[in-house]
A and B are shown apart, each in its own frame.
Chain A
């Protein structure tokens, strides 16, 4: 059973550019959530998509956006990149069954973004 696949694994951008990251969830998982991990702030929730709709959103500026396709694959986009956006961006998928405690998240290996 394939895991959560994130592409690209590594990328380097310069300030002001924009970037798009991709996440393919585990087959059958309909929820995809995104997280940012930095040494200073740790892991922080960005947003969650389920059935092509954003269900929850963390406390990040509007430069961070995402979408989900009908096959549950998701992309996140960061526009007008800043140095502080350098981070490991993790995507996780889950079945989102609605039962408390039943939604085990499976994380991908992440996309490491460096902004110069």
Chain B
């Protein structure tokens, strides 16, 4: 069964600190892995997309890594800001062109002043 597991489920950090969110997947076949940020009451917004051959990708203060051998990914947030408070969802796609996605349960991040 295709699964995407994220940890921790929730996390509280102080503004300015760094944090790392984890994602393990058992999805097969694997096409690409995506990280999304979802603010409360809004739709998810794409942060990064990585294919099998990519092992790191950055988007501003967000850096995602991918180890396709161990089927693990991480999202590192540098110098956190209050606006980073959101749910971060790891998503794995099984097909190249379509949008059949398997979603992780998300990590709820709260950044406190």
User: A residues engaging B (CB < 8 A)?
Assistant: 4, 31, 33, 35, 42-45, 48, 50, 55-56, 58, 90, 92, 94, 96-101, 103-110
Q: Are B43 and A48 in contact (CB under 8 A)?
A: no
- Residues of chain A with a CB closer than 8 A to B49's CB: 101, 104
Tally of contacts, chain A with chain B, CB under 8 A = 75
Q: Are B96 and A105 in contact (CB under 8 A)?
A: no
User: B residues engaging A (CB < 8 A)?
Assistant: 31-32, 34, 41-46, 49-51, 54, 89, 91, 95-106
Take A56-B98, A100-B31 as given contacts and tell me if A109 and B103 are in contact as well, using a CB distance cutoff of 8 Å. no
Query: Which secondary structure dominates chain B's binding surface?
Result: loop
A108 to B43, CA, bound (A): 5
A55 to B31, CA, bound (A): 17
Which A-B residue pairs are the 6 nearest by beta carbons? A107-B43, A43-B103, A98-B97, A33-B99, A100-B96, A101-B51
Q: Are B100 and A48 in contact (CB under 8 A)?
A: yes
How far does the Cβ of A37 sit from chain B's closest Cβ, in whole Å?
9
Q: Are A92 and B99 in contact (CB under 8 A)?
A: yes
